[in-house]
Amino acid sequence: MRILVDENIPRITVDALRAFGHDVKDVRGTSGQGVPDSDLYTLAVAESRAIVTTDKGFTGYRREPHHGILIVRLRQPERQEDSRRRYARGRSDSRTRNGRICSWWFATR
């Protein structure tokens, strides 16, 4: 799967997605870091990528054409540890035992 990851997603998550064989474009440390949501959305659509983000603002695009939007809600300060445990178990769903990670997936129409 082709995925665009915004700068707020932990690097361990990016590494795990790549380890699972996904084509992941991480905007962290590039000219895409810090750009408005509309620019990231446009880039993702142009490159046929699903978006993985922590930014709830992307819910505004759920009725627009896209290749998938995954909004991950991670609580601090255990954000990185939750990601590490989840991917260490090889889980690809969006639930954890105590509900610390939840996500919404908006499929394309």
Of residues 77 and 47, more confidence is placed in 47
Q: In Å, what is the CA distance from 69 to each residue of 5, 25, 91, 97? A: 10, 14, 18, 23
pLDDT at 31: 80
Strands lying side by side in the sheet with 2-5? 23-26, 2-5, 50-53, 69-74, 101-106
Burial 11-37 (b: 16+ CB within 10 A, else e): ebbbebbeeeebebebbeeeebeeeee
Of residues 50 and 62, more confidence is placed in 50
**Contact assessment for residue 9 and residue 53, using Cβ atoms and an 8 Å cutoff:** yes
Q: Where are the domains of the chain?
A: 2-106
Element (H, E) at 87: helix 79-88
pLDDT at 82: 58
pLDDT at 101: 42
Question: pLDDT at residue 26 above 90?
Answer: yes
- Could you identify the residue written with the tokens 């991917």? 87
- Could you identify the residue written with the tokens 């064989």? 21
Question: pLDDT at residue 44 above 80?
Answer: yes
**What's the whole-number mean pLDDT along residues 7-36?**
89
Question: pLDDT at residue 36 above 80?
Answer: yes
Q: What is the pLDDT of residues 79-104, one digit of tens each?
A: 555 556 655 555 444 444 444 444 44
pLDDT at 89: 56
